Amino acid sequence: MQAGEAWGRRWTENSLPMARAFMEAACRKKSLVCLAADRSTMAELNHLIDEVGPHLAALKTHVDLVDDWTPEAWSAFCSKATAADLLIFEDRKFADIGGISRKQMSGVYDIRSWADLVTAHLISGPDIVDGLQAGWEDVGRNGGVLLLAQMSSRGNLLNPAYTAQVVALGKTHPGVFGFIGNGSRPEELKLLRQAVGDGKLIWTPGVNLEVGDGEMGQRYGDPREAVLAGSDCIIVGSGIHKAENPALQAEAYAKASWSAFNERLK
Ligand code: S5P
């Protein structure tokens, strides 16, 4: 099936190149899984991608938690991810004013040069999205911003009124790829999907085949329920990288997400 047919209105109502690149990748890989590659050495990261790359549609990084980071090692790692047909998503959670966010796209890590997607909080106002987009323009690249509309962690301060404002500002901004929603609470996610409509994607952390509480206030919901509630991509970290057999688990998440996606189409 062509990506346009599979994604329906999510495809026709969203012309951001990076959003379509994701929808196409998901169809090629038959997976709505983004791996949260929260490992702290380059060797572990490289090993993880070798093991699970075929089952993923995207790769999420926290570049600042790698102990032995060097520009050369990171560049080789990004090439490996691209060869595995993965979009690269730096979960930097930018939150500063637009001009500083633009500068933070460069610096030591030079995120603008290798990330296809980044996260941002909208707490400082909508200019942050323009700042981040300007960061990509500075190096002649395209990218997409995922705005945090909800969070998965217990006690977070993103209440329904705040979520509604993030959605209202983000859904009409052409630089916004989509929103981060809470994968651990399908009922909250359904409300988010209603507010967002079909024009933007929703990606959800807080997803695990073992539903319940995680470490330090993390909460987990079921991948199938998240997709049925309107998630377009499940972000899975420890469910895969802490598994005894990460490849088998990644395959299980890919299958669960893809069958729920097909169920949603019917
Ligand atoms: O609300 C959020 C938003 C994000 S991006 N809750 C989250 O957990 N995340 C990220 O998703 C978090 O930074 C981590 O990298 C990943 C979840 O990892 P897991 O091991 O709990 O699956």
Q: What is the pLDDT of residues 201-254, one digit of tens each?
A: 999 999 999 989 889 999 999 999 999 999 999 999 999 999 999 999 999 999
Q: What is the pLDDT of residues 131-184, one digit of tens each?
A: 999 999 999 999 999 999 999 999 999 999 999 999 999 999 999 999 999 999
Number of CB atoms found within 10 A of residue 262's CB: 13
Protein fold of 3-265: TIM Barrel (3.20.20)
Q: Is the pLDDT of residue 266 over 90?
A: no
* Distances 120 to 37, 105, 130, 170, 205 between C-alpha atoms, Å: 18, 12, 11, 11, 15
Give the number of the atom of ligand 1 that is nearest the alpha carbon of residue 236: 22
Q: Write down the pTM of the prediction.
A: 0.98
pLDDT band for position 111 (50/70/90)?
very high
Task: In whole angstroms, give the CA distance from residue 4 to residue 21.
Answer: 11
Ligand 1 centroid to Cα of residue 106, in Å, is 24
DSSP 8-state class, residue 126: T
- Active-site option among 29, 60, 80, 93: 93
22: Cα within 13 Å, side-chain hemisphere = 32
Average pLDDT, the chain: 97
The strand pair at 219-220 and 212-213 is best described as antiparallel
Q: Are 242 and 208 in contact (CB under 8 A)?
A: no
Give the number of the atom of ligand 1 that is nearest the alpha carbon of residue 182: 1
What's the average model confidence in pLDDT over 60-83? Answer: 98
Q: What is the pLDDT of residues 125-135, one digit of tens each?
A: 999 999 999 99
Ligand 1 centroid to Cα of residue 91, in Å, is 9
User: Residue 127 has which token pair?
Assistant: 């200019």
Give residue 265's pLDDT.
87
Give the number of the atom of ligand 1 that is nearest the alpha carbon of residue 207: 22
Which of 59, 235, 241 has most ligand 1 atoms within 8 Å of CB, for mutation? 235
Task: In whole angstroms, give the CA distance from residue 118 to residue 111.
Answer: 9
3-state secondary structure of 17: helix
pLDDT band for position 192 (50/70/90)?
very high
| 266 labelled catalytic | no
Which helix (H) or strand (E) element contains residue 144?
strand 144-148
DSSP 8-state class, residue 221: B
